[in-house]
């Protein structure tokens, strides 16, 4: 987009991020800035949609005025489940840069989640008893783990006991397992499966 705004740009800026995403999905716009960066921002959506010939001013206005779209936007934020959070992580969340710390990675994950599910629906470092789970998305707890040995996984089992009392089965462990012994990872995933906890493994 250039320095001077126009009607199309102004109309896009009036859209919520959920409406921008709706347009990108409905028009089947495949744009690398949306799917290969860690954080999906409103600016990334707006810029991509602005530069697409599939997105006309008339279409944008129809989305803004559509009661059905507004309803989809509002209900999509409310209906946050383990299933759709896990699917979003699997399909849309990718690491494109190295991180110096888990805190830095968590910050990028939170930014992505807020762009995907709405800022108010994502709470980082949520207190559960005497511990804290990394992120809560809606009513779904998400724990991020980068174990380098079996010991952190043993500790995590104890944390899961606490989390499960609060969240029930609405839990996801995003496990980066490349630096941990494979037998320990397999044992942990098997244990979580028995407890109906969703584990997303990234190597």
- pLDDT tens column, 61-70: 888 877 555 5
Domains of the chain: 7-78 (no CATH), 98-202 (3.40.1350)
- The secondary structure of the chain in percent helix, strand, coil, rounded to multiples of 5, reads 55, 15, 30
CA–CA dist 96, 77 (Å, integer)? 26
pLDDT grade for 44, boundaries at 50, 70 and 90: confident
pLDDT at residue 133 is higher than 70: yes
Cα R_g (the chain), whole angstroms: 19
Average confidence (pLDDT) over 27-42: 52
* Residue 127, C-beta contacts closer than 8 angstroms, at least 6 positions apart: none
Helix (H, G, I), strand (E, B) or coil at 145: strand
Name the residue among 54, 48, 6 with its Cα closest to residue 26.
54
CA–CA dist 173, 99 (Å, integer)? 19
CA distances from residue 99 to 8, 16, 105 in whole angstroms, order as listed: 37, 30, 6
Give pTM, 2 decimals.
0.62
Lowest mean pLDDT among 7-16, 135-144, 167-176: 7-16
pLDDT at 23: 84
Average confidence (pLDDT) over 78-88: 87
pLDDT at 175: 93
pLDDT at residue 71 is higher than 50: no
For the purposes of burial, counting CB atoms within 10 Å of the CB of 2, is it exposed (0-12), middle (13-18) or buried (19 or more)? exposed
Helix (H, G, I), strand (E, B) or coil at 170: coil
Question: What one-character DSSP code corresponds to residue 121?
Answer: G
CA–CA dist 22, 196 (Å, integer)? 31
């Amino acid at each position: 987009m250039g320095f001077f705004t126009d009607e199309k740009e102004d109309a896009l800026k009036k859209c919520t991020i959920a409406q921008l995403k709706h347009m990108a999905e409905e028009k089947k716009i495949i744009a690398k800035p949306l799917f290969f960066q860690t954080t999906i921002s409103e600016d990334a959506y707006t810029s991509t949609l602005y530069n697409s010939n599939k997105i006309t001013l008339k279409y944008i206005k129809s989305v803004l005025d559509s009661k059905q779209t507004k309803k989809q936007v509002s209900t999509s934020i409310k209906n946050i489940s383990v299933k759709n959070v896990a699917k979003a992580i699997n399909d849309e969340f990718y690491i494109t840069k190295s991180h110096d710390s888990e805190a830095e990675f968590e910050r990028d994950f939170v930014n992505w989640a807020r762009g995907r599910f709405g800022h108010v629906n994502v709470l980082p470092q949520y207190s559960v008893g005497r511990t804290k789970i990394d992120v809560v998305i809606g009513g779904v707890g998400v724990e991020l783990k980068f174990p380098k040995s079996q010991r952190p996984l043993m500790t995590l089992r104890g944390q899961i006991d606490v989390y499960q009392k609060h969240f029930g089965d609405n839990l996801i462990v995003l496990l980066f397992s490349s630096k941990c012994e494979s037998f320990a990872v397999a044992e942990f995933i098997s244990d979580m499966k028995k407890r109906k906890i969703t584990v997303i493994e990234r190597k």
